[in-house]
Structure 1
């Protein structure tokens, strides 16, 4: 079967990623051209499919590669129920995946609860939780995500706008382990134009999220109430490309490949430093039923590291304690390490605080908050 240039590029991106994770050709007999029926116990690869052009193109590509190599290939479709007609979108996506020959194909219904992080973030949290749970249940070897290099460039710009620091230039990783489930992004070198071409060649009917703004004329700016990613896609990226006189998506996607190597090296060093300087402990504070995580940082030991590593260790520590922190919180805790002169505690989110005594910085729930809550409980 003759494949288009877009399909060849997509297959060329997926194959080495699967092979790297032990998901290559299952036996020599699969070296013969054509489709092969996988064994019942063959590794299972899921495609996370939204019904959009990118994920349907990935489904078509994954089906082609997996059927040639003797791997099982299924699809997971998450219905968030946050837009009118989502049931029909999920049904159509499942129908397309079934027509492609993926098996099993499952529609997973989730409830999205916005706890202040925003609807888009809440939907993402619910989606990944559902994907992880189902992948574990089916003992899947990997879940494929259809983020393209356009998504990668947009992610970089979003993180820069939100002042995410050096890691903003690293973008999304092509692999990610979430609660023991391996997620792979094989299309980070594939463009949205290529996934569109794959769908058109295969006559796959895809769905465009209306909040993406694809139906709005290209010479019209998106309304301010559209998601930031959509406004970056339609307004900022075209402007930057015109201003720089180049394909800014291609440039940013190339930068991420270089920066990810540097960030990975920094993170590995930070993890070693964290293991040597931080101890975690769990406990149930007064008037609480939920177990919380506290930390003790050896300030003298951590002070021997560079500022870049210290910041990463502190950020990782706060994250493991479950805190939604900002850069100013990390800087304030670092001053307890590098500029210690007996200053008082640092207030942190979620009623936590960081306080240094001798050479130990303790990060835990603020005792004053806990005492006030306990007293209130006793009065009631």
Structure 2
């Protein structure tokens, strides 16, 4: 799985490179990511890649620094090099602690990849994680992209274990005599994902059959292709109609979308263009509820906003009668702006 995803030889014929690319494993010390680190370390012995790791300390648990240090030591013992420990501070921006941790974690992984010149960052998500993501998307009434779950390869990130079950990563750790860390948060029923893992999925397996996890993961794979096409079309529409300010290389502060053109898009594209506008401004991926509230501004009924989106981004409507410095008078548009 790792070799196929990364384009490495699976025939037994190795092709050592003078300057092999660096792969980084994002490792929490848990069974999934530790097993991934051990499997990936094997490929480093063939000379086709170099393998390092990044351990992100979210400071969310007692002795998190000690856990990170012990994980780093175990990774170095497996032969991974370089191994970095990065401590992050969580910025709670309305999305909850899990969203804050995820944002901080990917920020740390992105920074490490840039500094070390890594070609790929590997993540240890399994088929069980994928099934949980699909159920969470259904429970939250999310759209196609959420129901598509996690992609095996997306940009810098790869997930070689999406076809493995969680029990198999535990078996790898036992076979290699590794000592994974078991995050107590994974047993905390206050988290919706934990309740899905320990209550909902076992119930569905008992009622619908043990293959329910595989079925949910297969649905995610099918929806992923649909979501990719819609995202590609929406990106093209965003590039065609959106005015991003400032346009001089500085961080964007505002996205303007012409109302009539936006209203004329198919709903699936219109919602994605709105969501992309929020993300371009540094906000979080907005919920369907927030997107619907922003879309309602196009109906020209009631308030002209602002509508607060996820993160420090708000949406409001500028009427055709209102003077707009960038466009002159007589122009109606939907504006999304990031607050400082």
TM-score if structure 1 supplies the norm length? 0.77
Q: Residue 295 of structure 1 contacts residue 317 of structure 1 at CA under 8 Å; is this kept in 2? A: yes
Q: Residue 296 of structure 1 contacts residue 360 of structure 1 at CA under 8 Å; is this kept in 2? A: no
Shift of 1:253: 0.6
Question: Aligned equivalents of 1:15 and 1:212: distance in 2?
Answer: 29
Residue equivalent to 2:332: 360
1:244 to 205, 208, 214: 208
Question: Aligned equivalents of 1:364 and 1:138: distance in 2?
Answer: 35
Query: Where do 5+ consecutive residues of structure 1 fail to align?
Result: 1-12, 214-222, 284-289, 374-380
User: How do 1:301-380 residues align onto structure 2 when only pairs under 5 Å count?
Assistant: 301-323=261-283, 325-335=286-296, 337=298, 339=299, 345-349=304-308, 350=312, 352-357=315-320, 360-365=332-337
Shift of 1:364: 4.5
The one-character-per-residue Cα deviations of 1:339-377 (angstroms, maximum 9, x if unpaired) are 56x8651321155422342563131459xxx9xx9xxxx
Moved more, 157-166 or 297-306: 297-306
User: How do 1:114-129 residues align onto structure 2 when only pairs under 5 Å count?
Assistant: 114-129=92-107
Shift of 1:80: 2.0
Shift of 1:154: 0.9
CA RMSD of aligned residues (A): 2.8
Q: Residue 332 of structure 1 contacts residue 346 of structure 1 at CA under 8 Å; is this kept in 2? A: no
Question: Aligned equivalents of 2:290 and 2:166: distance in 1?
Answer: 38
Question: Aligned equivalents of 1:301 and 1:118: distance in 2?
Answer: 34
Question: Aligned equivalents of 2:100 and 2:294: distance in 1?
Answer: 29
Residue equivalent to 1:105: 83
User: How do 1:197-276 residues align onto structure 2 when only pairs under 5 Å count?
Assistant: 197-213=171-187, 224-225=189-190, 227-276=191-240
Query: Residues 323 and 141 of structure 1: is their aligned pair in 2 closer, same or farther, counting only changes over 3 Å?
Result: closer
Query: Residues 79 and 330 of structure 1: is their aligned pair in 2 closer, same or farther, counting only changes over 3 Å?
Result: closer
Shift of 1:60: 1.2
SS of the residue 2:246 aligns to = strand
SS of the residue 1:70 aligns to = coil
Query: Where do 5+ consecutive residues of structure 2 fail to align?
Result: 321-329
Q: Residue 281 of structure 2 contacts residue 337 of structure 2 at CA under 8 Å; is this kept in 1? A: no
SS of the residue 1:353 aligns to = strand
Alignment size in residue pairs: 323
SS of the residue 1:111 aligns to = coil
Q: Residue 76 of structure 1 contacts residue 108 of structure 1 at CA under 8 Å; is this kept in 2? A: yes
Residue equivalent to 1:155: 133
The one-character-per-residue Cα deviations of 1:219-255 (angstroms, maximum 9, x if unpaired) are xxxx643x22111111111011112123321111111
Q: Residue 45 of structure 1 contacts residue 140 of structure 1 at CA under 8 Å; is this kept in 2? A: yes
Shift of 1:329: 4.0
Q: Residue 282 of structure 1 contacts residue 293 of structure 1 at CA under 8 Å; is this kept in 2? A: yes
Question: Aligned equivalents of 1:250 and 1:103: distance in 2?
Answer: 35
1:193 to 150, 153, 167: 167
Query: Residues 278 and 113 of structure 1: is their aligned pair in 2 closer, same or farther, counting only changes over 3 Å?
Result: closer
SS of the residue 2:231 aligns to = helix
Q: Residue 72 of structure 2 contacts residue 85 of structure 2 at CA under 8 Å; is this kept in 1? A: yes
TM-score if structure 2 supplies the norm length? 0.85
